[in-house]
């Protein structure tokens, strides 16, 4: 593997802050050449845009062939657009954080604090130049008056990293908590539309920032499959798993057969890799046998990635695990291999001028 000297796409007009958040290749990329990019910038707002491969050079995208899919989404730097993936129906699903206004997570008229699902090939908002996408009729709020028709599950704080199990389509969401708990939620395919994950009424398994409304049916909420508390402040010196979850993936690769079917995630604050076994117990979807896998990674001197911002754990086409670490001069992409973790692609750092760091969770 080698890093090409010329970026496939540069979208950073002079003087405009941009911070890439996520990208997704169209399911029909081989024929369409479409790639979708979520980024923030332009007066503090975030955008999903589509770019198309150059007709003359297959290794680059043509900045002129740009289509705004959803623009001008008001977010904060910390809670912006997150992971973006296509679902099995070919719809684009994006995680969006709230903006320190907790009530928005429960407000169906807002896309913030939600996962949203859009059809980027159409336009159901012809009078809105910032919304150039269609809504599938099976979106759970497609016909709800006053609701943002894109909304899937609500009640999230900062779902910046989530994934879909390639084997069965189950959804796994890492939701970054506020001051005390991190949580991971597992929902079976087909069950997550319209679900409510509970923020700001709950933070992990603890009471959240807002009291439950009178008469609210707590049983209607989807509880986390796993939650872990932050370490005592200040410092990160306890055995806590961390303070800003970087949601992961269910391993379906072949390099580490014993790990198949386990859910792997990391934490932005402590930089440790964990795994858990998915199971259904007492009517709930939970993780059990949670193990800190960091010592097995064979890092020099037994080190981990503490404080180094592991902001993505994902999978490749073969289902193998990759971890990205952010930071100017230290940004790297790693592939997890048996008994070792090998730097696979060096220098994905901010060096080089225009490239910006890719960030996701922060401790805030």
Binding site for Ca ion (CB under 5 A): 123, 125, 128, 132
| Calpha distance 88→169 (Å, rounded) | 8
The answer for 77, left when phi > 0, alpha when psi is -120 to 50, beta otherwise, is: alpha
**Strand pairing report for 262-267 and 274-281:** antiparallel
Residue with Cβ nearer Ca ion (67 or 166): 67
Neighbours of 293 (CB within 10 A): 17
CA dihedral 198, 199, 204, 205 (to 10 degrees): -50
- Minimum distance of Ca ion from residue 84's CB (angstroms): 19
Q: Minimum distance from CB of 53 to Ca ion (Å)?
A: 24
Spatial strand order of the sheet with 18-25 comes to 18-25, 34-41, 45-53, 61-74
Least distance (Å) from Ca ion to the CB of residue 149?
13
In the complex with Ca ion, which residue's Cβ is closer, 127 or 318? 127
Task: For residue 147, say if its preceding peptide bond is cis, omega within 30 degrees of 0.
Answer: no
Please, what's the largest Cα pairwise distance for the chain?
A: 61
Nearest approach, Cβ of 67 to Ca ion (angstroms)? 10
- For residues 97 and 109, is the Cβ–Cβ distance under 8 A? no
Query: Nearer Cβ to Ca ion, position 126 or 329?
Result: 126
Q: How many CB atoms lie within 10 A of CB 298?
A: 12
Query: 31: part of which helix (H) or strand (E)?
Result: helix 29-32
Kindly tell me which of 122 and 338 has the beta carbon lying closer to Ca ion: 122
Measured from the CB of residue 127, what is the shortest distance to Ca ion in angstroms? 7
Q: In the complex, what is the shortest distance from the CB of residue 128 to Ca ion, in angstroms, rounded to a whole number?
A: 5
| CB closer to Ca ion out of 121 and 196 | 121
Question: Smaller CB distance to Ca ion: residue 103 or 129?
Answer: 129
For the bound state, the minimum distance from the C-beta of residue 139 to Ca ion, rounded and expressed in Å, comes to: 17
Sign, CA dihedral 350-356-360-362, equals: positive
CB nearer to Ca ion: give 125 or 322.
Answer: 125
The answer to whether residues 43 and 78 touch, using CB atoms and an 8 Å cutoff, is no
């Amino acid at each position: 593997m080698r890093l090409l000297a010329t970026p496939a796409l540069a979208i950073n007009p002079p003087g405009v802050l941009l911070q890439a958040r996520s990208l997704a290749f169209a399911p029909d990329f081989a024929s369409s050449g479409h790639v979708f990019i979520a980024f923030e910038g332009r007066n503090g707002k975030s955008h999903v845009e589509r770019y198309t491969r150059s007709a003359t050079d297959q290794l680059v995208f043509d900045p002129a062939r740009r289509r705004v899919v959803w623009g001008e989404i008001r977010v904060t730097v910390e809670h912006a657009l997150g992971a973006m993936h296509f679902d099995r129906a070919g719809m684009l699903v994006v995680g969006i954080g709230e903006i320190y206004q907790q009530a928005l997570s429960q407000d169906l008229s807002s896309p913030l604090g939600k996962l949203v699902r859009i059809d980027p090939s159409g336009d159901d908002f012809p009078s809105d130049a910032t919304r150039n996408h269609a809504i599938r009729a099976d979106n759970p709020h497609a016909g709800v008056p006053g609701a943002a028709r894109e909304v899937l599950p609500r009640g999230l704080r900062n779902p910046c990293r989530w994934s879909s199990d390639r084997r069965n389509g189950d959804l796994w969401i890492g939701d970054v908590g506020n001051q005390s708990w991190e949580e991971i939620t597992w929902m079976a395919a087909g069950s997550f539309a319209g679900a409510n994950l509970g923020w700001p009424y709950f933070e992990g398994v603890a009471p959240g920032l807002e009291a439950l409304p009178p008469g609210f049916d707590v049983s209607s909420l989807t509880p986390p499959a796993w939650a872990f508390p932050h370490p005592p402040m200040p410092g990160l010196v306890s055995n806590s798993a961390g303070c800003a979850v970087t949601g992961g993936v269910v391993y379906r690769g072949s390099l580490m057969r014993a790990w198949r079917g386990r859910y792997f995630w990391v934490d932005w604050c402590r930089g440790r890799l964990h795994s858990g076994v998915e199971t259904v117990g007492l009517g709930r979807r939970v993780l059990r046998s949670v193990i800190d896998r960091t010592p097995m990674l064979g890092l020099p001197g037994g080190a981990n990635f503490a404080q180094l911002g592991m902001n993505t754990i994902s999978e490749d086409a073969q289902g193998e695990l990759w971890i990205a670490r952010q930071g100017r001069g230290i940004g790297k992409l790693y592939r997890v291999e048996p008994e070792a973790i090998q730097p696979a692609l060096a220098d994905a750092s901010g060096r080089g001028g225009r490239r910006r760091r890719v960030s996701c969770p922060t401790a805030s």
